[in-house]
A and B are shown apart, each in its own frame.
Chain A
Amino acid sequence: MAERSSAEALLELWKRQMEEGTKAWTQSLGQAQTADPSHVWRPFLDQGIAAWASLMAQAPANPDLMAQWKQFLDQWIAAWGEALERAMGTEAFAQALGRYLEQWLSVQAPVQRGAAQAAEATLTALGMPSRSEVMGISRRISDLDDRLEGIADQLQALALRLERVISAGDAPRRAPSGRTPQKKKRR
C-alpha cells in the first residue's frame, strides 16, 4: 500500500506542478512577453526532483509507476494543448500570424516570379516548351474532354429519345396479345 500511495503522491505533485506551470506559461503568452523558460520552470523542476528523490528513497519502485507516468505525460500534453489553444484562439495571435504570413508572402512573391521567369527563359533557350505552354496545352485538352463529354451526353440523350420514339411507333402496330397484327391485303 505504501508503494501505491507514494506513487499517487508523486503523481499528484506532478499534476500540481503541471497546472501551475501551465498557468504561468498562459500568463506569459497572454501578456505577449518573451517567455523565459528557466524562470518559469526552474522552481517546479527543483521541487519535483527533490520530491521524486525522497519518494524513491522511502519506498521501492512500483511497476504501476510506468502507467501513472504515462498518464501524467498525457495529461501534461493535454494541458499544454489547451493552454496553447487558448493562446492561439485570441485575435492578437491571429493578427500576428496574419502579419507574419503577409511578410513571408511579400518575400516569396518576387522569388516565385524570378524562378518562373528563369525557368521559362531556360526552356525557351533550349527550344523546349515552357511551363505556361504545357499548362495551356493541358487546359485545351481538358476543354476538349469537356466538349467530347458534352457531345457524348447529347448523343446518348438522342439515342434514348430515338429508342422511345421507335418503341412508341411500334406499340400501335402490336396486337393486344402482343402478336404483330396481320397486314391488310391489297385489293
Chain B
Amino acid sequence: MPERSASADDRESRTDAAARWREEAVRNLQRMANFATVAADAATPVAGATAREEVYRKRQARLYRYASSRTRRIPLLFVPNLGLSRPYIFDLMPGASFIEYLTKEGYDFYLLDWGVYGPEDRDLTMGECVTKILPKVVHKVLETSGAERLSVLGYCMGATLAASYLGWEPGAPVAHFINMAGPIDFDRSGLFGLWLDRRFFNVDQVVDTFGELPAEMVKAGMKLLKPTMELSSRLNLWWNLWNKDYIDGFKALNQWANEYVPMPGEFFREWVKAYYQENRLVRGQLRYDGRVVRLNAIRCPVLVIGAKEDYIVPPECARALIDAVGSDDKEFLELRGGHISLIAGRSAPVHCWPRVEGWLAARSPNARRRRDDTDGGVR
C-alpha cells in the first residue's frame, strides 16, 4: 500500500472537519426552526390510537379489549397502576405503543384502565380491588374471549395488585404472570420506602386532610425523587431539536409525564401502611376477607422484569417475587433504563417488549391458530 503524504492526510482531515461543521450548522438551523414550532404548536400528539372496545366497567374502572388478529389462544390482561398517572403511556403513539406491538403479534389484549377517581371514591380500598374488581375483570376477559385461562401482566403498582390477587385466589385461571417493575419487597423500595417510613410520614394526616392523595402531591413526590430529571430532559430536547421524530416522541411523553392523577384516600392509606410501612405482602401477613395472601401459592410461570436505573421501584424490590412464588418456571430479567423506559420511549421496543413477547410465546408453543380461523374471537 503506498504511503500517504502528510499533506493528503491534512487535506482529508480538513474536509472531514468542514463536513462536520456543515452538519452541525444545518442541525443548528433545524433546531432554531423546530424550536419555534415547539414553542408555537400547542397541539398535543394523539395518544391511545389503537382501536378498542369497552367490555366492562366498575366504578371508574374500564376494561378495554383491543383489536387484533387474535392468533394467540391465551388472552393477555394488562393491569397498570391505580392513580398516579394515566395508562395511555402504554399506547402512546403509533409506532411507539406497547399495546400496538402486542396486538400486532396477535395477542388478544385487554387493558384494565382504573380511571380517575374523585371525592366520591374516597372509600375505595385495595381490598376491594383485589377481591372484587380483579376477579370480576378476569371473569369478563374469559367470558368475552372464550378462553379458559389468561395471562396477566402487571406494571408498577398494578403488578403488586395482581400478585396480591393471585396470592389471595390461588385457583385463579391464570396461565402466566409477568411483573414489570412492580414493587414486592418494600424493605427494598429505595427512596420512597425511606420517605414513607412510619417514623417520618404520617399517612393518616394526609388522607384526613384531603380525603385522597392529591395529584399535586403525587407530582411533587415524583419530581423530588429525581430533581435533575427536568433539566436532563430539557437538555436532551435541545440536543435533539433538529430531529422531528424525537420532538413528536418528546411531546407525547412529556404530556403524559406532567399529567398526574389523585389516588383514593383509603386506597392510599392501605398502600402506605400495609405495603410500604409493614411490608405485609412479602411477609405473608396480608389478609383480605379473612383470607391470607400467599405469594408462595402462585404456581404459574412467572417473569419479573426490573430496570437497572429504576429509582421508583429498584430492581431488587421487584425481584423479590422470584423468591416468594412457588412456581418452578420463573425468570428474572434486569434491563437497562428506568421505570418508564421499560414501557415507553426509544429503547423499550428494542430491549423490553420483544423479551416479554418472546417469554410468552415460548410458553404457548401451540398457541398459533390457522390464519383462516380468525373470526374475531378465540374459541
Nearest residue in A to B16 (C-beta to C-beta)? A63
A75 to B236 CA separation, bound complex (whole angstroms): 13
B59 interface hit (Cβ, 8 Å): yes
Q: Smallest Cβ distance from A49 to chain B, in angstroms? A: 21
Residue pair B24, A77 in contact (C-beta under 8 Å): no
Residue in B17, B194, B199, B201 whose beta carbon sits within 8 Å of that of A62 in the complex? B17
A70 to B237, CA, bound (A): 12
With A64-B20, A84-B228, A88-B224 given, is the CB distance from A94 to B235 under 8 Å? no
Chain A residues 51 to 94 lying within 8 A of chain B, measured CB to CB, are: 62-64, 66, 70, 73-74, 77-78, 80-81, 84-85, 88-89, 91, 94
Interface residue from A70, A74, A105 paired with B209 (Cβ < 8 Å): A105
Bound: A34/B210 CA distance, A: 33
Residues in A with CB closer than 8 Å to B120 are 134-135, 138-139, 142
Q: Is the CB of A70 within 8 A of B205?
A: no
Q: Mark A87-121, 1 if CB is under 8 A from B, else 0.
A: 01101001101100110011011001000000000
Q: Indicate if the CB atoms of B226 and A94 lie closer than 8 Å.
A: no
Chain B residues near A147 (CB, 8 Å)?
none
A85 near B200 with CB under 8 A, answer no
Across the interface, do A112 and B231 meet the contact criterion of CB distance under 8 Å? no
> Are A98 and B202 in touch, CB under 8 angstroms?
yes
Is the C-beta of B311 less than 8 angstroms from some C-beta in chain A?
yes
Contacts of B58 in A (CB 8 A): 145, 149
Neighbouring B residues of A89 by C-beta, 8 Å: 191, 194
Residue contact B205 to A102, C-beta cutoff 8 Å: yes
Q: How far is the CA of A88 from the CA of B197 in the complex (A)?
A: 14
A108 to B17, CA, bound (A): 60
Q: Which A127-166 residues have a C-beta within 8 angstroms of B?
A: 131, 134-135, 138-139, 142, 145, 149
Contact flag A88-B191 (CB < 8 Å), given A64-B20, A98-B201, A109-B209: yes
**In the complex, residue of chain A having the shortest beta-carbon distance to the beta carbon of B311:** A85
A135 cross-chain contacts in B, Cβ below 8 A: 119-120
The answer to whether A73 touches B235, judged by C-beta atoms less than 8 angstroms apart, is yes
A97 touches B209 (CB 8 A): no
Min C-beta distance of A146 to chain B, whole Å:
8
Q: How far is the CA of A134 from the CA of B121 in the complex (A)?
A: 12
Q: Is B195 an interface residue (CB 8 A)?
A: yes
- A94 near B239: Cβ-Cβ < 8 Å: no
Q: How many residues of A contact B (CB 8 A)?
A: 36
- Residue B227 lies at the interface, judged by CB distance under 8 Å to chain A: yes
Q: Which of A88, A101, A138 touches B201 (beta carbons < 8 Å)?
A: A101
The answer to whether B231 and A77 have CB atoms under 8 Å apart is yes
In the assembled complex, which residues on chain A have CB atoms less than 8 Å from the CB atom of B239? 70
Q: Is B356 part of the binding interface, using a Cβ–Cβ cutoff of 8 Å?
A: no
What is the bound-complex CA distance between A40 and B313, given in angstroms? 34
- B residues less than 8 Å from A98 (CB atoms): 195, 199-202
Q: Is the CB of A74 within 8 A of B232?
A: yes
In the assembled complex, B21 has its CB within 8 A of some CB on chain A: yes
Query: Knowing A109-B209, A112-B210 touch, does A81 contact B200 (C-beta < 8 A)?
Result: no
Residue B206 at the chain A interface, CB threshold 8 Å: yes
**Which residue of chain A lies nearest to B226 when distances are taken between CB atoms in the complex?**
A81
Look across to chain B and name the residue whose beta carbon is closest to the beta carbon of A89. B191
Query: How far apart are A61's CB and chain B's nearest CB, in angstroms?
Result: 9
Q: Is the CB of B235 within 8 A of A105?
A: no
Give A109 to B208 CA distance when docked, in angstroms.
8
Nearest CB of chain A from residue B168's CB, rounded to whole Å = 19
Residue of chain A at shortest CB distance from B239: A70
In the complex, what residues of B have CB within 8 A of residue A108's CB?
209-210
User: In the complex, A94 Cα to B221 Cα: how many Å?
Assistant: 12
Return the 5 tightest CB-CB contacts between A and B, nearest first: A98-B200, A138-B120, A63-B20, A81-B228, A94-B200
Interfacial residues, chain A to chain B (CB-CB below 8 A): 3, 62-64, 66, 70, 73-74, 77-78, 80-81, 84-85, 88-89, 91, 94-95, 97-98, 101-102, 105-106, 108-109, 112, 131, 134-135, 138-139, 142, 145, 149
Can you list 30 A-B contacts with CB-CB less than 8 angstroms, sorted by A residue number? A3-B17, A63-B17, A63-B21, A63-B23, A70-B239, A73-B235, A74-B235, A77-B235, A78-B228, A81-B227, A88-B191, A89-B191, A89-B194, A94-B197, A94-B199, A94-B201, A95-B199, A98-B195, A101-B206, A102-B202, A109-B208, A112-B209, A135-B119, A138-B120, A139-B120, A139-B123, A142-B59, A142-B120, A145-B58, A149-B136
Beyond contacts A89-B194, A138-B120: 13 other A-B pairs, Cβ-Cβ < 8 A, are A3-B17, A63-B20, A63-B23, A73-B235, A77-B231, A78-B228, A81-B227, A84-B228, A88-B191, A94-B194, A98-B195, A105-B206, A112-B210
